[in-house]
Structure 1
Amino acid sequence: MRGRALLAGAGLVALMGVHGCSSDPQADYCHTVEDHQDDFSEAVAQGGPTALLTVLPDMVDLRDQAPDDIQGQWQQVTGRLLALRKALDDAGVDPTSYDRDKPPSDLSAADKTAIDAAAKQLVSADTVTAFEQIQTQVRDVCHTPLYR
């Protein structure tokens, strides 16, 4: 019963357009989801292998505000993205121009292996499932999609 009351309260706050700080972490989380929807929508429309890297700061923000029941899934997704970002940064590779099939000639085998491993983990079944669970939870709890 208490969970339904929290959800109803979060929905009411969202409908009323109240965007200040509240004492309800669930409502704050849902407000943050709404704040980042346009960024996520642009990333999805952009597509490509670097789309999620462009919204990494948004994802970290949502991870930090996520309710306990979805915190692990946010950690899974952002952790994999952060690992890919680190592998690319460590290799000095621009993610927007990196082509796995035609890597820069000065890219070491170790750096290429690190990038490939991070990318493989990002698209692993565990990470894909975690992202699907995030999207479902956002839709169910915040009554809005993560992106439009």
Structure 2
Amino acid sequence: MITLRVAAQILVVPILAVGMSACGDQTEDYCGSLKGHQKELTNTLGEGGTSSLIAALPIFEDLERNAPDDIEKDWKTLTGAISGLSKALEAADVGADDFDGGKPPKGVSDAETKKIADAATKVSSKKTQKASVRVQQQARDVCHTSLTL
């Protein structure tokens, strides 16, 4: 079973290297949105771990809404995976930081634990990782600004 920390690290590390700036048309709006979220995203993801990944979800959702057609599907993959993990944790009434060494806190049922583990696995899946890489590449290639976290 993949731990929440591993799932977050697999996704956050590449996102931390994302590049951003200003571009043209729908792309210009997207690049502007990336740049507008730059500081907040840096602060949120800079804390590390699954909790910061979930805390960044509203930013990711906004970027998805502003994404050009060619990258929108990848944003949907990212936000869908993170949202699924957030919902699984919320349904079990626990936070990502409540897990000790990958073990759920007392009171979390086996069914809830399985849903959380499945959601964490989706966050760290190859499909989600590939979407993350494509989103980052798009930001670097099209928006031409580097975000250092």
Whether the 8 Å contact between 1:80 and 1:121 is mirrored in structure 2 is yes
Whether the 8 Å contact between 2:77 and 2:128 is mirrored in structure 1 is yes
The percentage of aligned residue pairs carrying the same residue is 38
- Identify the residue that residue 120 of structure 2 maps to in structure 1: 119
Displacement after TM superposition at 1:50 (Å): 2.1
Q: Which has the higher contact order (CA 8 A, sep 6+)?
A: 2
Amino acid paired to 1:86: K
Whether the 8 Å contact between 2:98 and 2:104 is mirrored in structure 1 is no
Whether the 8 Å contact between 1:29 and 1:65 is mirrored in structure 2 is yes
**1:105-116 alignment, distance < 5 Å:** 105-116=106-117
Cα distance in 1 for partners of 2:142, 2:62 equals 18
Displacement after TM superposition at 1:146 (Å): 5.2
- Identify the residue that residue 92 of structure 2 maps to in structure 1: 91
TM-score w.r.t. length of structure 1: 0.79
- Identify the residue that residue 69 of structure 1 maps to in structure 2: 70
Cα distance in 2 for partners of 1:117, 1:31 equals 34
Is the alpha carbon distance of 1:134 and 1:80 closer, same or farther for their aligned partners in structure 2, counting shifts above 3 Å? same
Do residues 145 (structure 1) and 132 (structure 2) align? Answer: no
Is the alpha carbon distance of 1:143 and 1:31 closer, same or farther for their aligned partners in structure 2, counting shifts above 3 Å? same
Whether the 8 Å contact between 1:43 and 1:54 is mirrored in structure 2 is yes
**1:125-140 alignment, distance < 5 Å:** 125-140=126-141
- Identify the residue that residue 4 of structure 2 maps to in structure 1: none
Displacement after TM superposition at 1:26 (Å): 1.3
Describe the SS at the equivalent of 1:137: helix
Which blocks of at least 5 consecutive residues in structure 2 are unaligned?
Answer: 1-21
Amino acid paired to 2:117: D
> Which of structures 1 and 2 has the bigger CA Rg?
1
- Identify the residue that residue 27 of structure 1 maps to in structure 2: 28
Cα distance in 2 for partners of 1:145, 1:53 equals 23
Describe the SS at the equivalent of 2:128: helix
Displacement after TM superposition at 1:56 (Å): 0.3
- Identify the residue that residue 18 of structure 1 maps to in structure 2: none
Aligned structure 1 segments of 4 or more residues deviating by more than 6 angstroms: none
Q: Supply the RMSD in Å over aligned alpha carbons.
A: 1.7
Whether the 8 Å contact between 1:32 and 1:62 is mirrored in structure 2 is yes
